[in-house]
Amino acid sequence: MEVLLAILIGGLYASGLYLMMRRSIVKLIVGLAILGHAANLLVFTAAGLTRAQAPLVAPGEDAPPPLHADPLPQALVLTAIVISFAVLAFTMVLFKRAYQTVGEDDLDQMKATDT
């Protein structure tokens, strides 16, 4: 399962970087979103994929059960999802304003309008 996810993560990184190098701003935004998903999957995979018990400490015990899931990667990915949503929302607003000003989606055309 880890090998399959490693291939998927590599494909997502490759496609995200490819889209970010295109001229269109829409492709850049989609590539940024795909890159964020790849990073989230990488954190999940690096933490280990095991079916384990919840990390809850039973009453009267000092530690969680021996095979418990690590909640830290889940918290990191949840935080990354919120931050990537905010970055994408900002990027989309920035794109809308640039498109209203220039009237073009091509980055080369936007460089030509600098005055």
Domain extents in the chain:
2-50+69-112
- Between CA 109 and CA 104 the distance in angstroms is 7
On whether the CB atoms of residues 50 and 70 are closer than 8 A, the answer is no
Three-class secondary structure of residue 91 per DSSP: helix
Predicted confidence (pLDDT) at residue 99 exceeds the cutoff of 90: no
Predicted confidence (pLDDT) at residue 43 exceeds the cutoff of 80: yes
- Between CA 111 and CA 115 the distance in angstroms is 9
Q: Is the dihedral of CA 25, 90, 20, 11 positive or negative?
A: negative
CATH topology of domain 2-50+69-112: Helix Hairpins (1.10.287)
Predicted confidence (pLDDT) at residue 109 exceeds the cutoff of 80: no
On whether the CB atoms of residues 105 and 24 are closer than 8 A, the answer is yes
The token pair at 8 is 């998927």
The pLDDT of residue 115 is 53
pLDDT band at 113; cut points 50, 70, 90: low
